[in-house]
Structure 1
Amino acid sequence: MSLIKVLNFKPLGDDRGDLVALEELVDIPFAMKRVYYVFRTERGVSRGFHAHKNLKQVAVCVTGSCDFLLDDGTTRETITLDSSTKGILIEGIVWREMHNFSDDCVLMVIASEHYDESDYIRNYDNFLKIANKN
């Protein structure tokens, strides 16, 4: 089973341009509690390097592109996000890293919970111990 769960968002377009609307429990498969975005990431800088115990997320590159590495402790998969109409659903105890940000990348993340530091697993060895118990 693949770790990469792609969500395709249907753009609504006319002669004025395109629009993507995302609704909780319709396009996003959970109630949305937090939205944040990452931008102006310097060339060569990677982000992430953590997992979550309970949080669910959908990540979308609104502009530009970046690579997501997902790891469940046994399988590692990478996907390039490069479309504002494609997102990835990350749920369960999955390590995530983001690499190769384009200069114009704006990465939007929709989260199922408010920020909670205690939900983070920031050490890879600890992550492996937790992931291998599940």
Structure 2
Amino acid sequence: MVNTNIDNCRIINLPKVNDPRGNLTFVESNKHIPYDIKRVFYLYDVPGGASRAGHALKRCQQFLIAMSGSFDVVLDDGYKKNRFHLNRSYYGLHISPMVWRELENFSSGSVCMVLASAFYNEDDYYRDYQEFIASVQSEQS
């Protein structure tokens, strides 16, 4: 069986410190996620029915957490597709490079926080799906 990039994408549970005054969860670089965190950003106020992302990254890894509410992440590496439902702040989804992602089905008030392994670089993006698929197929040739 061929190991594809999507096989490396997985849910990672984060530490959860229970306290009657409110719980605490934390993320440490190279401990809970397999890279140094270079950039943090978050998506919020996504209108009902809208989707986000619609791209793949060539080298950057990302870790997505539903800080509030819920949303679905659809991953596609050109060979397989997987759907993940994120709805808790004590786990997240690690996304490997060369995986197309779509975020959809945002609940009202949802917030998606992203921890990235690289600073923003437009040259690292595939924003056209057909260009992404062509690149994936050329790597396998």
Query: Could you state the TM-score of these two structures normalised by the residue count of structure 2?
Result: 0.91
**Cα deviation 1:92-114 (Å, max 9, x = unaligned):** 20000000000111000000000
C-alpha displacement at 1:50, in angstroms? 0.3
Q: Which runs of 5+ in 2 are unaligned?
A: none
Amino acid at match of 1:131: V
**In structure 2, what is the equivalent of residue 26 of structure 1?**
31
**In structure 1, what is the equivalent of residue 98 of structure 2?**
93
**In structure 2, what is the equivalent of residue 48 of structure 1?**
53
- How much identity, in percent, do the aligned residues show? 37
Structure 2 distance, partners of 1:121, 1:87, is 23
**Cα deviation 1:64-108 (Å, max 9, x = unaligned):** 000000000011111111111111111120000000000111000
**In structure 2, what is the equivalent of residue 129 of structure 1?**
134
C-alpha displacement at 1:33, in angstroms? 0.3
Structure 2 distance, partners of 1:77, 1:47, is 16
**Cα deviation 1:44-76 (Å, max 9, x = unaligned):** 000111001000000000110000000000111
CA contact (8 A) 1:3 1:71 kept: no
* 1:126 partner SS: helix
Structure 2 distance, partners of 1:132, 1:72, is 10
C-alpha displacement at 1:3, in angstroms? 5.5
Q: Which runs of 5+ in 1 are unaligned?
A: none
**In structure 2, what is the equivalent of residue 65 of structure 1?**
70
**In structure 2, what is the equivalent of residue 115 of structure 1?**
120
* 1:17 partner SS: coil
Give the total of aligned pairs: 134
Structure 2 distance, partners of 1:131, 1:105, is 32
Amino acid at match of 1:73: G
1:36 is aligned, of 33, 41, 47, to 41
CA contact (8 A) 2:8 2:96 kept: no
Query: Could you state the TM-score of these two structures normalised by the residue count of structure 1?
Result: 0.96
